A and B are shown apart, each in its own frame.
Chain A
Amino acid sequence: MRLGKLTAGVALLCGAAALPAQGPTYVIRGGTVVPVVGANIPNGIVVISNGRIQAVGANVTSPAGATVIDATGLFVFPGMIDAGTQLGLTESGSVPGSEDTREIGDFNPQNVALTAVNAHSELIPVTRVNGVTTVITSATGGLMSGSAALMDLLGWTADEMAVKPRAAMVMTYPSTGGGGGGFGGGGFGQNQPSAAERRETMNRQVRELRQFLADARSYAAVKSKLGADAADGPRVNQKMEALIPVVRGEMPVIFDVNSADQIRGVLTLADSFKLKVIIRGARDAWRLADTLAARAIPVIVGPTTQAPGADDPYDMLYAQPGALAKAGVKIAFQTSDASNSRNLPYNVALASAYGLDSTEAIKSITINPAQMFGVADRYGSIEAGKVANIVVTTGDPLDVRSTVKHLFIRGMKVPLTDRHTDLYEQFRARPKP
């Protein structure tokens, strides 16, 4: 258990709401502070205590007794946020016993991803040592996969890690591609459904999805009319209960989609049910960039490390984030994976090489996702009062050649060790023959 390596005597993490009441005070000084909101501060100072950023600036007084981190020649960034991963829900893809990513059935809004997050997954330290401090993790598949958790990558338990235990509902809009429906995907070569059959399945799934949301809307309406404790109200239905904040427009819905048709379907659904939607994956979002910008619908792009469709331009997935940002769409990035979540900044780097402005690039993995999930008051930038998730690097975090020198999550200085560095050190020390 890697948390054991944290400095002894440090007040340990409390729950999402209650940050550590006390802890050491750190002063990071001498580095270039990139607050993300506002101009960079050369030779800046960041003061951290009680889990929060207490002060930021060029002329900040260091509190007495603080531990000073010399960041001369280094860069100070907010921790990065992966807006789509299965971190904590899977250990190894070929070991079914380690997988909690896909439930049976198409409608599971009642499932809470945080429930299955293994706080002691070896993948978590591996991810955070690259500067990814916060993630949206969720199950996938079906039409409603359940709620996603927004969590910091540090904590003795999943509850301690949680920033927002139920940050968004995850849904998949039906398509003819066979994805999302959860009907087994067919086999190789045989019993492949025809185009007409696939279209029929898609239409049926759209009807089911709409019906389910309509039911939830009625359920929520009855509940409001009767009041929460009414004895003669409808029987408690866990699936419906889970959707109440969704149909009230309080909880955002992440829609995993790809095609322009699916995105249009989501927009129609959002209009019908007054949903607060976030489009994710969205290979074809660039075709609807103007619409998405005008409607202020955010898009979580990525992973960029995928092959574009056969008829797409070679640079489609690299260039789409820049095209969306240019059109005025707010974007964030996902890795859509657990073992590759550590590659979040390098996904963004590929987009920055193909037209995503470097300032937008950093925003898309810090303040933008914080805004999408309603935590921008606490996350996504280096500002006084915010949670002290901070990465001190040798350079641009998007640059593979840069390395992380110091890592803070909720004001705790996290050791830059993981299963991989342990094995590295172990075998590096193997005596030469």
Chain B
Amino acid sequence: MTSGIGRVPAEGGWGESGIGPVGRVAAAALSIAGFAVAAPLHAQATGAARPPAAAPAQGAAAPTLDLTAVSLPVPPAGRLVAITNATIMTASRGTIPKGTILIRDGKIAAVGADVQVPAGAKVIDANGKYVTPGIIDAHSHSAAEAINEGTLSITSMVRMEDVLRQDGVSLYRQLAGGTTTLNILHGSANTIGGQNAVVKLRYGLPVDSLLFEGAPPGIKFALGENVRQTNRNLQAGQQGRYPRTRMGVEDLLRDAFTRAQEYQREWQQYEQRRRTLSGAARAALIPPKRDLELDPLVEILEGKRLVHCHSYRADEILMMLRVAKDFGFRVASFQHVLEGYKVADELAKAGSGASTFADNWAYKMEAWDAIPHNAALMAERGVVVTINSDSDERARRLYQEAAKAMHYGGTSEEEALKMITLNAAKQLGIEKRVGSIEVGKDADLAIFTNHPFAPSSRVDMTIIDGRVFFDRSTSPTLEHLIEQMRARQRPRVTSEEQ
């Protein structure tokens, strides 16, 4: 009864403008404008960069998901919605003290103090409340059936999107903390891990619809203790896996990219020859053997795949930067990067982002020099910094985590907000779509009862593509549960108890 799904609201009143609490409506709403559903995964070319997922056009014969037989909690489409009287923290252009956000077909159509609310718009009066961009978690392992393919030290062939699942209650709780987009990463058991999946928290929809359509593909790399497996006890008879040292990690990377370059050359030569031939000769030409391990690495070399590299110590960060430079690619983001403050200038120069914890430290040796001023100091030296969760639990309160950059390093309020919104969008290459409250961007928003960094503040509503995916007024809260129990005059005996 209390798990996840919103309480079903009273019927009626939402109408054509259609914004409302999560309710049970027919899944046919999937094809409503303003809400794109990713193409089925299995239709995609194996090993190649993900093609931009097509949004099924309304009424067209484009591939649509036939789900009419099932009933899913799909929020009505946000066709025409106005959030009024709100303090709007745009994350890119300052704060509007009393403004309106107009949403049309899931996109932000207007923002400002003098926006006229068109007739027929569904109005959300946010008087006294604060609106921020939907929070983007740059490091998550949610919604995944598995995290680590740990048997090899290079598993670039595995993909998180192949193991996505609707995590139910966990995703709902993150929504309840204003989080709307996640970078779902492979684990850190290997130097070159699996391919990532960027998703929106479209809670309740079929799992394929979680994918953030058009997000550039990425991949997880990892350095340090986890890759070396030094905190892991080997079973009797089990052999240690190469690499066991940080030197080995570098060797593995250089070897992998050397092989990728050779593979890339083979394909280039093949394509070149193919262009010069025609007819039977062209047909007889045998292509190189497709290598699913090296394909993603070639995409990295070609700048088509973003590297998100788990790292802790300054030395290993510098090693990764050297390797990347030698092979001609950019590391999009260093993850954790707890000693990033020691090499902030090198990170800034390389154009690499940094995605760190607010204040986690001391849990292992490589986290011993972690300081809570890390985010602030890196930002001060010109690095694009985000604060991430790496945890389903922490992802529910990233707004509080971001404020720690103000507490420890004197980061400005807007910069702190960027660390969980716009900067994350930049690191993931989706900043044209999300991350700030600007005209033309997706209507992914969080409505807070107070300033998001204030201690008494909580999320009232979370909106994705103009649709309300979380609404506290219809959510099963503890208060609601206690009321129900008291109403039944059975305050201490319930079926939920163990």
Contacts and interface: CB of A to CB of B under 8 A. Distances in A.
Interface string A335-352: 000110011001011101
B407 A316 contact: no
Contacts of B476: 313-314
B274 interface: no
A396 interface: yes
A310 B169 contact: yes
12 contacts: A92-B362, A94-B231, A259-B498, A287-B492, A311-B496, A313-B475, A313-B480, A348-B455, A349-B455, A400-B403, A400-B407, A424-B371
A91 B362 contact: yes
Contact of B2 (A305, A311, A338, A348): A311
Contacts of B225: 94
B173 A307 contact: yes
Most chain A Cβ neighbours within 10 Å, of B169, B377, B393: B169
Nearest to B168: A310
Given A288-B492, A311-B2, A433-B345, A319 B364 contact: no
Contacts of B404: 400
Nearest to A424: B373
A191 B135 CA distance: 41
B398 to A, nearest CB: 12
Interface residues of B, number: 64
A75 to B, nearest CB: 13
Contact of B363 (A94, A398, A427): A94
Nearest to B399: A400
A313 B349 contact: no
The 7 closest A-B pairs by CB, nearest first: A349-B455, A94-B364, A400-B403, A319-B478, A398-B455, A339-B362, A420-B371
The main secondary structure of chain B at its interface with chain A is loop
Contact of B406 (A358, A396, A401, A428): A401
Contacts of A352: 455-456
Interface in B1-57: 2-4
A235 B237 CA distance: 49
B123 to A, nearest CB: 26
B492 A354 contact: no
Interface of B: 2-4, 169-170, 172-173, 176, 225, 231, 341-342, 344-345, 349, 359-365, 367-369, 371-373, 377, 380-381, 392-394, 396-397, 400, 403-404, 406-409, 449, 453-458, 475-482, 491-492, 494, 496-498
Interface in A188-203: none
B491 A290 contact: yes
Given A349-B400, A401-B407, A423 B359 contact: no
Interface string A303-332: 001111011111110111001000000000
B359 A310 contact: no
Interface in A363-384: none
A288 to B, nearest CB: 6
Interface in A273-313: 284, 286-288, 290-291, 305-308, 310-313
Contacts of B397: 305, 350
A230 interface: no
Indicate the member of A290, A305, A313 with the most B CB atoms within 10 Å: A313
A312 B492 CA distance: 15
